[in-house]
Chain A
Amino acid sequence: MSTEATAAAHGTGDARAAFREITHDIAWVAENPKVPKAWYGALGVGLLLLSIGGYCIYHVVMTGIGVWGNNNSVGWAWDITNFVWWIGIGHAGTLISAILYLMRQGWRTSINRAAEAMTIFAVMCAGIFPIIHTGRPWFAWWMIPHPNDMHMWPQFRSPLMWDVFAISTYATTSILFWYMGMVPDLATFRDRSKSKIRQLVYGVLALGWRGSARQWHRYERAYLILAGLSTPLVLSVHSVVSFDFATSLNPGWHTTIFPPYFVAGAIFSGFAMVMTLMIPARYLFNLKHIIKEEHIEAMCKVTLATGMMVGFSYSVEFFIAWYSGNEFEQFTFLNRASGPFWWAWLSMVSCNVLIPQFFWFKKCRTNPWIIIILCIFINIGMWFERFVIIATSLTRQWLPSTWSYYVPTKYDVGVFVGTIGLFLTLFTLFMRFLPSVAIAEVKNTLPEAHAGKEH
């Protein structure tokens, strides 16, 4: 039912019906006693994949990372590919939350809560990999600077330590920002709760929020500043991840464009993932009038734009490889296209450069099935991009005697599948138990929010 139908003029008629409708429609997702079967299905699949992954992680930790396919020159493979892939996916959430807020794009309010949740879950999935890939993850706490009897301190000059700080700052900021945004909506849930448990849980989480204007004032300032802080943060996080590669000497890794190129790629894959999640969600939970077609279309355009930035970076890298006269760099790029991993490179280019071109066409931007399929391919392509970067450079390094090949084992795949399960489980639970759309923010974008004001 369209909210435009309700009167927006000076207080006559029931202008507030629009607000009640938003509250009801969004809260219904959590309150509906009859949960859509697809939700159970998604949760079931998520838990199944999670348990597979849980077993695989247990086996990797107890036996050692020798159960993976990593070998001597390919020290990083699926583990780091997955890490970068997940972190990249998380970035769209922050972009939607923070950057679109700074750009005053009201359409973000329908998707920002779910996108922020997606960021947090993606970062959780990503964080698993750096920890278990060390082989002795129980020593992970050594990376936190603390006085110890060995008088040892972490090596802060290493990009891997920068990762520790960047990812933890990112996770912390995302969680705080997400929670802060949810407090007014948790208060809505609290006020609508019928059962004592729900009242207690939502009541505690809502911190006693009562919509006081004086509190809104500070809240809004903090929100704006957090959005302003999150923007350089999200740039820095994936830049720091790109530094893991770019600070090295490996051909194909050491190139100055990596930071903005990785950030653009992250936003690209993140938006694709947001759409993959939001399109089914809006149908399943009857949120089509809140998460509107124009919003999806706008996301498709952003995806296209960032995809073109990624394609642009490919071309620049290739050009400079030739221009530099560095034979190792030149070989690396030719090897990507014609060496043993040519099929991965082909997937990467077709999914990241060709597939997004479909979004030039309005038909493709408005058909939900086409969008989901394209977005899944984009995410596959972005996975291959990280894999191509890592594997082609490591399997063909400087000395031909070190050249090798890489084949994943079932534990590589199992752990990855497990993180997908973790993500799916958490996201499914979030959709059902927490306010999945930013109720207060959506209300603020309605024309009724200005009812009764003098111009």
Chain B
Amino acid sequence: MDTPDNTSVENGELYGVLAEFDTPGALIKAARKVRDAGYTEFDCYSPFPVHGIDEAMGIKRTILPLLIFGGGITGLLGGCLLQWYCNASAWHWNVSGKPLWTFPITPNNVPIAFECTILLSVFTSFFGMWILNKLPQVWHPFFRLDRFAKVTDDGFFLGIEAKDKRFDLAETRRLLESAGALEVEDCNLDPDPETRRMPIWLYGFIIVSTVFALVPFALIYRARASHSKEPHYHIFSDMDFQAKVKSDTAFDMFPDGRANRGEIPGTVARGWLEDDSAYWRGLTQDQGGEWITNFPAQVQITPELMKRGQQRFNIYCAPCHGYDGRGDGMIPQRVRKAGAGALLPRNLIDPKTGVITMPNGQVFNTISNGYNTMMGYSAQIPAQDRWAIVAYVRALERAQNAAQGDVPADKWNEINGATP
């Protein structure tokens, strides 16, 4: 059927002519003829690749294989670089003693390097081919001809574009007919050039949808670096919410409203028996005992103990009692300066205050449990250290209430500068 398919009143610009052929062989012969006649802007169309048409049309071999080779090399190097960087450079970690990297590649890195080579080659093949073929190109002028629908079924066509230098409607038609065409049909573009322009709304749609598609990423990006007073979302709660009661929290299942159940009566935690009343409490015995006057058996008075006691005194006691033990440490001074009344830590060395005559056990007890406004320090200072502090306090007292006979002879001479 040769009726022109353009039912519009006028035809638009001539795009080219389309000739239909009966067999693949006829198409090849025609292609050769057309090429020999000097045409270049022509193409053949078939439902399957016709073997032999490439030579007939003079199609040059595509550079795609070279591109793919390049893609493969990139993949290979990229795969090696990725693994080297991640496992041998940025965070090199020893996994079962295997070497971080051996030249040219460690055996255990080969599989991934291989896969990366293949993957990049595949991407280059696939996308390279479509790009070189300039597809997708959903519309082509020949689609305006009804008979062209046969090209995906059983039709063999040869189309010559009007823009070819040798194109002349009559001549070209004659050439195609003499080459054995069943039909030669003109192909005209739509008279309205607007139909070949992409509608504005489509541009708009693409832009708007792209922008919308980026919105979630933008939100995520913003959220990553944001601060909030609200607790964060637990998308995957994992072990954030656990079906257990944490210590020191409220818990209404028990009448006292606490999660902590306290100590179980009649039990003592291991290592907490502390039955040595002298060492732990400074008493000769717990019930009806008296303060011990010497040191417990576990405490040996050595220079190290004294030094330790000095150090601990200076940390814990000196702020109030002063480094000299007179009771005028930094904190009472500040209290005075701030006009907040008076804080009167006891003077430890003055015989009038009675500390000197206190038994060691009582001093120990005061350090442990506090007195008046002084808090007990048994939580912060272990028992051994408290005894060391007691020893140091005794040393301080002795030092401030010493007589000449207490000083060794060589030291006395030193102090007075007397020549021996």
Contact = CB atoms under 8 A, between A and B. Distances in A.
Interface in B35-56: 43-54
A211 B151 contact: yes
A315 B116 CA distance: 35
Nearest to A205: B136
A161 B22 contact: no
A226 B137 contact: no
Interface in A180-232: 180, 184, 187-188, 190-192, 203-204, 207-222, 225-226, 229, 232
A165 interface: yes
Interface residues of B, number: 74
B25 A11 contact: yes
B43 A212 contact: yes
Contacts of A220: 49
Given A208-B137, A219-B129, A452 B53 contact: no
A215 B87 contact: no
Contacts of A120: none
B109 A156 contact: yes
A229 B118 contact: yes
Interface in A1-58: 10-11, 15-17, 19-20, 23
Given A173-B118, A450-B25, A451-B23, A208 B138 contact: yes
Given A153-B86, A217-B54, A217-B62, A211 B152 contact: yes
Given A156-B109, A165-B115, A222 B90 contact: no
B46 A216 contact: yes
Nearest to A151: B91
A169 B120 CA distance: 9
A213 B83 contact: no
A208 B112 contact: no
A213 B54 contact: yes
Interface in B60-82: 61-62, 64-65, 68, 82
B236 interface: yes
B59 interface: yes
Interface in A378-423: none
A172 interface: yes
Given A16-B154, A236-B114, A229 B122 contact: yes
A153 B25 CA distance: 59
A10 B25 contact: yes
Given A10-B23, A240-B111, A451-B24, A214 B126 contact: no
Interface string B119-142: 101110110111011011111101
Interface in A156-182: 156-159, 161-162, 165-166, 168-169, 172-173, 176-177, 180
B121 to A, nearest CB: 5
Contacts of B250: none
A131 interface: no
Contact of A156 (B86, B119, B138): B86
A159 B95 CA distance: 13
B270 interface: no
Contacts of B149: 191-192
Contacts of B59: 213-214, 217
Nearest to B56: A213
A221 B64 contact: yes
A111 to B, nearest CB: 17
Q: Indicate the member of B28, B44, B106, B114 with the most A CB atoms within 10 Å.
A: B114
Interface string B330-361: 00000000000000000000000000000000
A151 B90 contact: yes
A225 B152 contact: no
A208 B140 contact: yes
B108 to A, nearest CB: 4
B406 interface: no
A152 interface: yes
B49 A188 contact: no
A161 B50 CA distance: 44
Contacts of A283: none
Contacts of B91: 151-153
B136 to A, nearest CB: 4
Contact of B112 (A161, A221, A239, A453): A161
A443 interface: yes
B26 interface: yes
A188 B122 contact: no
A176 B125 CA distance: 10
Q: Indicate the member of B23, B44, B57, B116 with the most A CB atoms within 10 Å.
A: B23
B155 to A, nearest CB: 8
Contacts of A441: 48
Contacts of A191: 149-153
A287 interface: no
Contacts of A157: 87, 95, 98, 106, 108-109
A203 B46 CA distance: 18
A451 B22 CA distance: 9
Contacts of B130: 207
A222 B47 CA distance: 18
Nearest to B109: A156
Contacts of B112: 156, 161-162, 165
A215 B130 CA distance: 9
B143 interface: yes
Contacts of B49: 213, 216-217, 219-220, 440, 444
B307 to A, nearest CB: 45
A58 to B, nearest CB: 15
B126 A236 contact: no
A327 interface: no
Nearest to B136: A207
A138 interface: yes
B25 A208 contact: no
B64 to A, nearest CB: 5
B43 A229 contact: no
Nearest to B149: A191
A177 B238 CA distance: 40
Contacts of A192: 149, 153
A162 B114 CA distance: 10
Contacts of B26: 11, 452
B156 to A, nearest CB: 8
Contacts of B153: 19-20, 23, 188, 191-192
A233 interface: yes
Contacts of B126: 176, 180, 222, 226
Contacts of B82: 145, 156
B15 to A, nearest CB: 13
Nearest to A222: B129
A449 interface: yes
Contact of A226 (B25, B47, B125): B125
The 7 closest A-B pairs by CB, nearest first: A452-B25, A452-B23, A153-B86, A19-B154, A222-B129, A207-B136, A453-B25
29 contacts: A10-B23, A11-B26, A15-B23, A16-B155, A23-B154, A138-B236, A145-B86, A151-B91, A153-B87, A156-B82, A159-B111, A165-B111, A169-B116, A184-B47, A208-B140, A210-B140, A210-B142, A211-B152, A213-B43, A213-B45, A217-B49, A218-B129, A219-B133, A221-B129, A232-B114, A444-B49, A449-B48, A452-B27, A453-B24
Given A157-B98, A222-B129, 14 more contacts: A17-B154, A151-B90, A156-B83, A156-B86, A165-B116, A173-B119, A173-B122, A177-B122, A191-B149, A208-B139, A213-B54, A229-B118, A236-B111, A443-B48
Interface of A: 10-11, 15-17, 19-20, 23, 136, 138, 145, 151-159, 161-162, 165-166, 168-169, 172-173, 176-177, 180, 184, 187-188, 190-192, 203-204, 207-222, 225-226, 229, 232-233, 236, 239-240, 243, 439-441, 443-444, 448-454
